Structure 1
């Protein structure tokens, strides 16, 4: 239901992965990745294989043991140092480093080692890693990185230490460290800004965005882009001086000149502050400061990078963002393996949610039929899908193929062959049950019936079904293409095998499943509703809307609750609030009468152009003066955010969700809850459960029982 902006790397990772795995596996089968006829030390190393071809070129194949992707650990770098010793002794005519993993070159550093608490020890560890990379860079032998798939973070820093870089078409490059509250730490800050214009290098590091091979060639990051079948010839040209190398821009020394750096750095700080406040996200500012102070002196910047990285590593922000990384990985595992046998999805309802769910499923390679009673919603859904594919699918032929998989189905005939039917009609019990009555007799015996309801308990929805055991919930969040969470809702009579298949389906379409038991509002909407309604109470108390939004943003939310309510639609907020209040009574703030009047006047928010804010070109018009003078109190912040933690504890106690970490992950990936806080339960744990409960009791005494601490706080640790 709720729409909330969330920061994420805007790249179809799984789409690229599938293409690259297919290409590389084919190459392995036909031996085009064979490294040479005469192995030198094929069994000497645990993570590397070293061979030499007929031209005397050493091919170093990185194949990290017992891992699906290559990452850099202390063990790997120590062994890499041993390989360098061997190469220095053998003096090959050239050295080629590439990956044996179909997924890509190197995915970055091993995040499992990002757990230190002593900056001195971390700096010493980073210094040892720097020494290995510096040694590699200093080799007096032509070095070439051959890159396919993802080349990220530490992997890109290894590639930068090579004299030449050859990319396989489809490769992607980036520095995602900022997403972990860090900046590059293996020399990338210095090497990148001296190879590529700082005007292009710094934004890549500051945002974590990736670029494709063609863009990497255009900015001078790689020297050539080729197909797998031409790699050997490209390598020969590189080693023997025939490759036309990328030339660094003559403006780079000027842009790295001290006075110019100062001007550019101040502009970068201004841009960064619009997206990530310094007090919440120190990494971008540390990177800008590093470049501003040392950008003109490469050795000094390499040294200063180590110290800056070590200091960032021990910040609360970095440790919480690293925790979020592991939460995502844990939630991916909940999906299990496979796709649940789901090949054809039939979506009923071509509105904002149904249409976007259908578009996303088609993007993930599934055959999708989209049904609606009228042609106009279907046409609108197809147009939105085309606009989405134009943004996230690179090739026009692939855009066309994806659209071909999304089939408008005015007569609803797709239900007969669908493996999964997703109902996404408006939130009305009688309407949904009417839809079920018409489609259930036409479904395949093993087909799954899923509802995208955001709040109606499945126990109510199932009463009209002949086979209620195959009804379950798949609750997506808006916008579907950006928010990763899907609540997989069960009830006491659900078919467990179908539930397992549905959960696997969520993982197969690159989404994170949250297993929840059916209950009003499930987890996310139940937790967010008091946040939204408390903002209405503050408006009732004549607090400026800009001040209320500023309170949430000061805490770290991506947008305030008033702007969020406009984004969601005031009619939807009111309907969900009424439904949940009918279930939970005084545990929720009442819906103000003036909100009903606003809805009755048609002032529904963004979709009608006016709600609490006036909306133009998709943006809320805010009073800059009111925003500048907003001074929210800590009590106001607590009134907004602590009820979220309170509901999460209640859902944990009631068994709606079984795991506290999964609750935190759900709120981050489903709503954008301040990721640097680590989630609402982790925030409560960091602040102290006793402190949170005591603060709630104080608020309850002052404002009413809606703030009463849940009894789950007594056992929460």
Structure 2
């Protein structure tokens, strides 16, 4: 044994009976995956020193004993490391560069055997070796820009020299995970083989390199020399890429453009100079608010996934499901279930509704075929997972039923009590209600313990969140089975307790309440939309209401007003009600706050509509000019306060789950980290002061809770990780 650590072992043997070679194996003890924590990187340095000091070696294979190769750096360390400042981060990256360079400079050929996911720092390790051989099921990529940083351990240096600047920019700026065939096509790997042949293929490459068939020194020269692009080629590659990437990334995400600039600055330089440029750029991005929040999101996402996994461990099997109510929503649920492999019955009382549901599912599958994600054969096979029916004939064998009929408590009650008599005693019933109390819907059920909410967001195939709602009598088993099914569908379930609107809609409607007050006092809704979109929302509140539908919004608002009359009930007519009464329902009938025309792709495109402007103007009781900052405050404070209340009321368990629900459910700007991180960023004291100022003028919707005031006074935060205090949320 050449080296043995907690995560790395290096052994030597002879290559097919020939010369001795070393095999460096990553196998982090106590973990299901390999991660590059500070401790593991330090071990790697020691292991490489031990390899370099071993006489008589003729090659090195780097491999993994786990299913994944290396999933990247240990992101849970990032906030603590980044707190130490720019100089520390530059020095840290240069230390890693020295270790990686030592691998690259070993006096014999080297090869990495990529058996599974090789992401971030894991991908960068593979780039240090002369050759790479990849299992046909593995994936490789540099997703750092999704965390607001760029590859800092040589990814911006080696990858462009290996696969060309244009391909490298696509991989790095897009943060993509790339399949083996794609990696082979661009030259990121030298061979793709079945997993069981991986070690033999790696050893064969070493033997061929030592025999002179493969020139490993030429490979090294290419990776450590300037890019082979003249001035005109450089300008064409980099300037074109900057324009395209800036358009895709948007103004709030600087990392993809910075990565291109790093590659461009280092294009004419050798290895060490390039690495210095990369280390400096990494350190600057690591200290930005965007990076802080995106890293926080990753950590929050891990919290949500871990909680979901705990439910799955105790869940009963869900092998056959059903959806009640076809149409667009039922068809979307059926598609999602079928596409991920869980067979589903789709029941309705009307033949035309069944046909509409099937049409929706077929359309979604056809899009997958168009994008070459599925073959027509696979599509046909998956479609057989959806069985339409007008009767309850096969419901005795169903493990879980999703009720997705119209949002009317009487109709839902009738359907749920009826289906309960048609299913087995252990079958879980779940209602896809967006607002109606689960406890209330359970009142007439014989087995309320088997009933919970399963709130999908529209469109089902795109929106990642599913709220799993626990009623007063819902059992842990019902929640666990529903969470398990949601995860099997490829969704992110978050368990919440029952209240009007649950979590996401309860938080969203105070945001709409702030919008209604602004419009009532003379704000131009088009300007409000532009300001909130510039703030980071995918669409402004008026546009969002058009997408949601005015009828849906009015109904949901009535539920909220009944549940929380002190702050959500309104006297007088709101702009939302006025639109509804004027039969301006939004995109569903092509007129709401905006009018809608079809664009070239057949999608609705919003245009200004004088009739809507006049309707809103008639409701205005004042004509105030609002600054951008005032509009942001009046929109964001009610949303953030309601999130705080949901946490305090126990509707949601943790800040992480609350923030992830808003990001996944309503498109809260990810780079701002979520409502509670947004408050932390401003500072609780400053946020409470802002809320109290607005509450004096605008009432209870803006009033902070006593507990929040106490937290502010005590200097507390929602998240314990520090460093957010430097951020400016506006």
When normalised by structure 1's length, the TM-score is 0.86
The worse-fitting range, judged by mean Cα deviation, of 43-52 and 165-174 is 43-52
| More moved, 331-340 vs 591-600 | 591-600
Name the counterpart of 2:586.
605
Deviation at 1:260, TM superposition (A): 4.4
Q: Structure 2 vs 1, CA of residues 188 and 254 (structure 1 numbering), >3 Å: closer, same or farther?
A: closer
Cα 1:46/1:711, change in 2 over 3 Å: closer
Alpha-carbon distance in structure 1 between the residues aligned to 2:378 and 2:115: 20
Q: How far 1:462 moved relative to its partner?
A: 1.4
1:108–1:399: structure 2 CA closer, same or farther, 3 Å change rule? Answer: farther
Secondary structure at the aligned position of 2:384 is classed as: helix
Deviation at 1:146, TM superposition (A): 1.8
Matched residues in 2 for 1:710 and 1:149: separation? Answer: 49
Which of 25, 46, 65 is residue 29 of structure 2 equivalent to? 65
148-157 or 559-568: bigger deviation: 559-568
Counterpart among 15, 33, 39 of residue 75 in structure 1: 39
Which among 364, 369, 393 is matched to residue 413 of structure 1?
393
Structure 2 gap ranges (5+):
609-624, 717-730
Question: What's the CA shift string for 1:576-603, capped at 9, x where partnerless?
Answer: 1222123223513748465445445654
Partner of 1:167: 134
Higher relative contact order (CA 8 A, sep 6+): 1
1:618 matched to 2:603? The reply is yes
1:27-176 equivalences under 5 Å are 40-41=1-2, 46-52=7-13, 53-54=15-16, 55-56=18-19, 57-88=21-52, 89-102=54-67, 104-114=68-78, 115-116=80-81, 117=83, 118-176=85-143
CA shift at 1:191, angstroms?
Answer: 0.8
Q: 1:231 to 1:708 in 2, by over 3 A?
A: closer
Partner SS for 1:715: helix
The corresponding residue for 1:526 is 506
Q: How does 1:302-341 map to 2 (within 5 A)?
A: 302-335=275-308, 336=310, 337-338=312-313, 339-341=315-317
The residue that corresponds to 1:677 in the other structure is: 672
1:281 alignment partner, SS class = coil
In structure 1, what is the Cα distance between the partners aligned to 2:215 and 2:264? 32
Residues 441, 682 of structure 1: CA spacing in aligned structure 2 closer, same or farther, 3 A cutoff? same
Q: Structure 1 pair 602/415, CA: closer, same or farther in 2 (3 Å)?
A: farther
Give the corresponding residue for 2:344. 368
Match of 1:653 among 648, 653, 665: 648
Distance 1:298 1:600, change over 3 A: farther
Task: Report the Cα distance in structure 2 between the residues aligned to 1:359 and 1:247, rounded to whole angstroms.
Answer: 48
CA offset digits 1:422-446 (Å, max 9, x no partner): 1111211111111112211111111
Distance (Å, rounded) in 2 between the aligned partners of 1:687 and 1:633: 17
**SS of alignment partner, residue 652 of structure 2:** coil
Note the 1:87-486 alignment, pairs <5 A: 87-88=51-52, 89-102=54-67, 104-114=68-78, 115-116=80-81, 117=83, 118-239=85-206, 240-241=208-209, 256-258=229-231, 260-262=233-235, 264-278=237-251, 280-299=252-271, 300-335=273-308, 336=310, 337-338=312-313, 339-373=315-349, 374=351, 375-387=354-366, 389-390=368-369, 391=371, 393=373, 398-486=378-466
CA gap 1:92/1:478 in 2 versus in 1, 3 angstroms? farther
1:491 maps to: 471
- How many equivalent pairs are there? 668
Q: Encode CA deviations 1:399-426: one digit per residue, 9 max, x unaligned.
A: 4443332333343434221111111112
Alignment correspondent of 2:727 = none
Write the distance in 2 (CA, Å) between the matches of 1:400 and 1:553: 40
Distance 2:189 2:242 in 1: 28
In the alignment, is the contact (CA less than 8 A) between 1:343 and 1:366 conserved in 2?
yes
Determine if contact 2:514/2:638 at 8 Å carries over to the other structure. Answer: no
Give the secondary structure class of the aligned counterpart of 2:632: helix
Moved more, 328-337 or 73-82: 73-82
Tell me the alpha carbon deviations over residues 489-520 of structure 1, each in whole angstroms, 9 at most, x when there is no partner. Answer: 11222223322333344344443332211100
Find the aligned partners of 2:478 and 2:147 in 1 and give their Cα distance.
Answer: 36
Q: State the alpha-carbon separation in 1 of the partners of residues 438 and 149 from structure 2.
A: 43
Distance in 2 (CA, whole Å) between partners of 1:262 and 1:592 is 58
Alpha-carbon offset, residue 675 of structure 1: 2.0
Task: Tell me, yes or no, if the aligned pair for 2:184 and 2:192 is still in contact at 8 Å.
Answer: yes
Shift of 1:398: 4.6
2:638 is matched with which residue: 637, 643, 646?
643
> What is the RMSD of the two structures over their aligned residues, measured on CA atoms?
3.0
Deviation for aligned residue 1:264: 4.4
In 1, the alpha carbon distance for the partners of 2:22 and 2:385 equals 45
1:253 offset after TM fit, Å? Answer: 7.7
After superposition, the C-alpha distances for 1:357-404 in whole angstroms (9 at most, x for unaligned) are 232223333222222233322322321341354358456655444333
How far off its partner does 1:51 sit? Answer: 4.2
2:557 paired residue number: 577
User: Do the aligned residues in 2 keep the contact of 1:606 with 1:615 (CA within 8 Å)?
Assistant: no
Paired with 2:232 and 2:268, the residues of 1 have a C-alpha distance of 10
Contact 1:107–1:150, Cα closer than 8 Å, also in 2: yes
CA contact (8 A) 2:136 2:193 kept: yes
Cα deviation for residue 714 of structure 1 reads: 2.3
Residue in 1 that maps onto 2:620: none
Once the 2 structures are TM-superposed, how far is the Cα of residue 49 of structure 1 from its aligned partner? Answer: 4.6
Tell me the SS of whatever aligns to 2:421: helix
Query: How many angstroms apart in 1 are the aligned matches of 2:553 and 2:586?
Result: 11
The question of whether the paired residues in 2 share the 8 Å contact of 1:457 and 1:520 is answered with yes
Per-residue deviation, 1:346: 1.2
Cα deviation code 1:258-296 (max 9, x no counterpart): 454445444444434434444x33322322332232222
Deviations 1:673-695 (A, max 9, x none): 12222211121122122322222
Distance 2:377 2:56 in 1: 46
Distance apart, 1:184 and its partner CA: 0.2
Q: 1:546 to 1:226 in 2, by over 3 A?
A: farther
Alpha-carbon distance between aligned partners in 1 of 2:444 and 2:37, rounded to the nearest angstrom: 56
Q: Which runs of 5 or more residues in structure 1 are unaligned? A: 1-39, 624-629
